[in-house]
Structure 1
Amino acid sequence: MTVNLNRLSHFVAVVESGSFTAAADRLGLAKAAVSHQVAQLEKELGTTLLVRTTRRLSPTATGQRFYERAALILRDAEEAVGAVSAETEIPSGTLTLTAPLDYGAKVVTNAVAAYLALYPAMRVDLSFNDTVLDMIEKRLDLAIRAGWLIDSSERAKRIGTFEQYLVASSAYAAKLGALSHPAPLAEAAWIANGALKAPLEWRFARTGKETSILGKALVTADSTDSAHSCALAGIGLAVLPDYQVRGDIAEGRLVRLLPDWALPAGGIHVVYPPSHFRPARVRAFVEILQRMEKERGRVAG
């Protein structure tokens, strides 16, 4: 069977847009033309790909599986065309990416500013979100993830690391008094970051020695940003990434406790969609971000 890429693109647009009307607007075509192409595709395949629910069109189980493959095929086709013109190495089009809220606000925005300064014809679509998004469904060029990757099958590249700091407001740090060992912290008030798998279990290390503590949560926050806000408000202790709190520590809004005791470091990764070709727009941005990570690493601690 010969694959008609136009029909695939019509079908993918309908699934992602949720209706023939929205898909037609996205493609710049008449609604009837889009509907006809999808109907012909279903006829050729001999199966139903879409069903109408109360408010929108949704793929059948077969349609969903077909959509996932079709989206990959279209992306590969687009990138094959891009590969031909990649000899110029000039980024073009729109870069689409996602990053965690905290890292996005503190680091990625600066990388985007540098990127646009170098390539003013580019456009960037950002999604700062602590939810791990489906890169194919959202048509993302890359995802930036901070921490520890769960899915080892992902096409990922580690471009940097970050330290985790135990911090508190100066007022709360004064209540704790001088600390030389993590043990007393088991009785302190903790701000648990619900975005972490084990937000109250921490392993501290110093000169070959390790000790673990289990904290008691006074407040449980649903994101790193909200845990950060609670720490600034003086509620209790929090473990936060260095890139988020270094400025607060330098300006006295937060105090780093037990700086001689290290917590496990995390990684900064760029994750790519399943494709063999990476457009110039992606490579150029990753180079900028990686350079910034190297510079950031020199001043960590």
Structure 2
Amino acid sequence: MSLFSGLEHFIAVVEEGSVTGAARRLGLSKSFVSETVKALEARLGVRLLDRTTRSLRLTEAGEACYGRAVRAATEAESALQEAQRFQAEPVGRLRVAVFESFHRIGLSDALDSFLSANPSVQIEFVEGISTVDLVAGGMDLAFRVSPQPGPGLIVRQLGRSRVFPVASPAYLARSGPLDHPSQLAQHRLMAFAPLNYDREWRMTVEGRPMSVPVQPRVLTHSGESLRSMALAGVGVTALPQWSVADALEDGRLVHLLPDYPMAESGFYAVYPSNRLMTPKVRLFVDHIIPHLPRWITGAE
């Protein structure tokens, strides 16, 4: 039986001065309230109320129980209100699983304005290359780049992610041009191992998708490392557009094989469940969408 069973009825009887008044306040039958209070006394092994045909009076034990019961009921009500506040307004910590180099999407302005507009929200980014189990990891939200998001999740596609083969001008000047996928074998390749880029690069050749076999000289589990090595002129690698957009724009890297596009992936916001989604999760995703680069969202 619940620790609090009967206490609410006991408090109501004391405060209303009668079982009848308590029953009216609680919306229950008089007999039910009376039996519940008697069951509470039986469970405690002590009489809480002295009853006469005309009045009710607290016993000494009842006085002690009533004072603590009221405080407990007040705390319980506060706990419920606090929990409901998380559903009524954006508040508390927002835990977001993000892929490596998420910051390169350029969301600093979005974060600044979101935090300014929602001062009761704290954001924790959990960044990495591994796919996090959202429920087991205690995540409210994840941003993922993949051909297909995992099953059993609520998914909202925000856009597309394209992968570009890139190299530095210094490397190309030293190693020669790369004008066709068949020439990849002649170059020093660097690849992101977790996505099978160590064995094949999926490209569109002569209008047809195909897998181009590759044998990279350098393998890594870090996109940031690939970017740094490409900028240093170590070799040719394939990286998402959002990871290299700034370096392509200022000429530090060159987009190779533009006529042979690599396979695209989806860019997704992923939730454990849409049931009772808290306002901070929904507001955060809605807030950042206008700040995403148009080459992700496809917006003009």
Which residue is equivalent to 1:280? Answer: 279
- The answer on whether the counterparts of 1:189 and 1:217 sit within 8 Å (CA) in structure 2 is yes
Q: Which letter does structure 2 place at the counterpart of 1:99?
A: V
- The answer on whether the counterparts of 2:159 and 2:298 sit within 8 Å (CA) in structure 1 is no
- Distance in 2 separating the partners of 1:132 and 1:192: 19
Q: Which letter does structure 1 place at the counterpart of 2:161?
A: F
1:81 aligns with 2:84: yes
Question: What is the 5 A alignment of 1:50-69?
Answer: none
Shift in Å at residue 292 of structure 1? 2.5
Q: Which letter does structure 2 place at the counterpart of 1:270?
A: A
**Aligned residues: CA RMSD:** 2.9
- Distance in 2 separating the partners of 1:253 and 1:118: 37
Question: What is the 5 A alignment of 1:1-301?
Answer: 81-82=84-85, 86=88, 90-149=89-148, 151-205=150-204, 208-293=207-292, 295-297=294-296
- Distance in 1 separating the partners of 2:232 and 2:287: 34
User: Against the structure 1 CA distance between its residues 237 and 269, is the aligned structure 2 distance closer, same or farther, given a 3 Å change threshold?
Assistant: same
Return the TM-score normalized by structure 1: 0.65
- The answer on whether the counterparts of 2:135 and 2:272 sit within 8 Å (CA) in structure 1 is yes
Shift in Å at residue 210 of structure 1? 4.2
Which entry has the higher C-alpha Rg, 1 or 2? 2
Gap regions ≥5 residues in structure 2: 5-79
- Distance in 2 separating the partners of 1:176 and 1:3: 77
Q: Which letter does structure 2 place at the counterpart of 1:140?
A: M
Q: Which letter does structure 1 place at the counterpart of 2:147?
A: W
Which residue is equivalent to 1:42? Answer: none
- The answer on whether the counterparts of 1:181 and 1:258 sit within 8 Å (CA) in structure 2 is yes
- The answer on whether the counterparts of 1:79 and 1:278 sit within 8 Å (CA) in structure 2 is no
SS at match of 1:216: coil
- The answer on whether the counterparts of 2:192 and 2:222 sit within 8 Å (CA) in structure 1 is yes
Return the TM-score normalized by structure 2: 0.65
Shift in Å at residue 160 of structure 1? 1.3
Which residue is equivalent to 1:73? Answer: none
- Distance in 2 separating the partners of 1:288 and 1:241: 23
SS at match of 2:138: coil
Q: Which letter does structure 1 place at the counterpart of 2:267?
A: I
- Distance in 1 separating the partners of 2:293 and 2:245: 16
- Distance in 2 separating the partners of 1:211 and 1:149: 19
SS at match of 2:195: coil
- The answer on whether the counterparts of 2:107 and 2:292 sit within 8 Å (CA) in structure 1 is no
Shift in Å at residue 164 of structure 1? 0.5
- Distance in 2 separating the partners of 1:248 and 1:222: 21
Q: Which letter does structure 2 place at the counterpart of 1:142?
A: L
Spell out, residue by residue over 1:238-271, the C-alpha distance to the aligned partner (whole angstroms, 9 max, x if none): 1000001010111121111111221111111111
- The answer on whether the counterparts of 2:140 and 2:272 sit within 8 Å (CA) in structure 1 is yes
User: Against the structure 1 CA distance between its residues 152 and 299, is the aligned structure 2 distance closer, same or farther, given a 3 Å change threshold?
Assistant: closer
User: Against the structure 1 CA distance between its residues 205 and 2, is the aligned structure 2 distance closer, same or farther, given a 3 Å change threshold?
Assistant: farther
Gap regions ≥5 residues in structure 1: 5-76
| Number of aligned residue pairs | 224
SS at match of 2:101: helix
User: Against the structure 1 CA distance between its residues 101 and 108, is the aligned structure 2 distance closer, same or farther, given a 3 Å change threshold?
Assistant: farther
- The answer on whether the counterparts of 1:200 and 1:216 sit within 8 Å (CA) in structure 2 is yes
User: Against the structure 1 CA distance between its residues 257 and 220, is the aligned structure 2 distance closer, same or farther, given a 3 Å change threshold?
Assistant: same
SS at match of 2:96: strand
- The answer on whether the counterparts of 1:104 and 1:128 sit within 8 Å (CA) in structure 2 is no
Shift in Å at residue 151 of structure 1? 2.3
Which residue is equivalent to 1:53? Answer: none
% of aligned pairs identical?
29
